[in-house]
Amino acid sequence: MLTTSTQISIISYLFDAFPPPATLSALTIAASLRLLVAAAIPLVIIQDITALGGGWAYSIFGFIATAFITLPFVGYIWGSEARAKSKYNKDQMMGMEVKMEQRTDGDTGSGA
C-alpha cells in the first residue's frame, strides 16, 4: 500500500513538473528505473540472505522501503518550491495564465 502511494506521488509530481512533451520522457525514465531496481533486487537478496542471515537481509530492504515512504511527504512540503524553480514549469505556467485570461475575457460557456 505505501509503496503504491509513493509511486503515485512520483508520477503526479512528474506530470506537474514537466510540460506535456517532456512528461512522457520523465515517466519513461521513472518506469525504467523502477524496472532496473526490480531486476537488481533478486540478484542482491540471495547474497544478502546467505551472508547476513534472513533477519538482517530483510530488515535492510525494510529500512530502504521506510526511507522511500517519506517521498510523498517531501513532495507535498517542498514540491511547489521545486516546481517553481524548474525551467520547464515557467513556460507551462505562462501558457496557463494566458488560457485563464482568455477564459475570463471570452465566452463563459453558459450557452446564452
The pLDDT confidence band at residue 95, using thresholds 50, 70 and 90, is low
Q: Rg of the chain over CA atoms, in angstroms?
A: 21
13 contacts 75 by C-beta, under 8 angstroms: yes
With respect to residue 111, please indicate whether it lies within any of the assigned structural domains. no
Whether residue 106 lies inside any domain: the answer is no
What are the cell numbers at 110?
A: 453558459
Is residue 7 one of the residues assigned to a domain?
A: yes
The tally of domains found in the chain comes to 1
Question: What dihedral do alpha carbons 55, 57, 59, 60 form, nearest 10°?
Answer: 160
Q: 3-60 pLDDT, tens per residue? A: 677 788 788 888 877 777 788 888 888 889 888 988 888 888 888 888 888 788 888 8
Asked if the structure places residue 84 within a domain, the reply is yes
Quick check: is 58 in a domain?
Answer: yes
CB atoms within 10 A of CB 90: 13
Q: Which domain holds residue 40?
A: 2-100
Question: Can you read off the three cell numbers belonging to residue 62?
Answer: 525494510
Domain-embedded: residue 107: no
pLDDT of residue 98: 53
**Which DSSP symbol is given to 19?**
-
